[in-house]
Structure 1
Amino acid sequence: MRKEQVEIYSDTSNAAVLRHPDRHFPGCLVQGDTLHGLRQSVRRVQRSAHLLDEEAAADLADVADHLESLLNHYKTVLAAHAIKLPFTDTSSG
């Protein structure tokens, strides 16, 4: 872990906007429990993807996979620092 100063443009709960010194544009900080909830919601919708056209189903799969990747990274980082998850992890979505 390292500490660096970031530029905080908004610290609204679940919508913090900040810029890391190594990044050109600001990003939006998503809290871990919110990230988990988004992934859960997308995976639930994805199970009904057979009702969507092929392009919409593919787009949904891309979003779900990206959220899954972000969530896995988040869980790995927290585990490496012995920080408890802010949600119950039932994995697989």
Structure 2
Amino acid sequence: MERIEAELFTDAGDDAVVRMPGRRFPGVLVQGDSLRILRGDVAEVLEACERGDLDEARESAGLLLANLDALLTRYEAALAEHDMPRPY
């Protein structure tokens, strides 16, 4: 394990916006449990599609999109708060 210093753009809770050394833009630190939940959400969409249950797939995909939108909003707000342009 290597110890480094990183720049913290938000609080240090879940989904912290952090810039690693040598990077121009920050990224989002996703905790392991949150990553597992995200993976499970994608699996739900796929399983519903495989069963042909498009209503359930659409609902699961909508919830997944809402969660990703919230994460993106947090990221963009952190950039704006620090007068940084978006990398896209």
Equivalent residue, structure 2, for 1:42 = 42
Q: How many residues align?
A: 53
Separation (CA, whole Å) in 1 of partners of 2:3 and 2:13: 21
Under a length normalisation based on structure 1, what TM-score does the superposition of the two structures give? 0.50
Q: Which runs of 5+ in 1 are unaligned?
A: 53-59, 61-93
Q: Look up the equivalent residue of 1:37 and give its one-letter code.
A: I
Output the CA distance in 2 between the equivalents of 1:7 and 1:18. Answer: 6
- 1:11 is paired with a residue whose SS is coil
Greater helix share, structure number? 2
Structure 1 counterpart SS, 2:35? helix
The two structures, once aligned, show a CA RMSD in angstroms of 1.9
Match of 2:21 in 1: 21
Using the size of structure 2 for normalisation, the TM-score is 0.53
Matching of residue 3 in structure 1 with residue 3 in structure 2: yes
Runs of 4+ more than 6 Å apart: none
Percent identity, please: 42
What does residue range 49-68 of structure 1 map to in structure 2 within 5 Å?
A: 49-50=49-50, 51=52
Using the TM superposition, give the Cα deviation of residue 36 of structure 1 relative to its aligned residue in structure 2, in angstroms: 0.2
- Counterpart Cα distance in 2 of 1:42 and 1:20: 27
Q: Gaps (5+ residues) in structure 2?
A: 55-60, 62-88
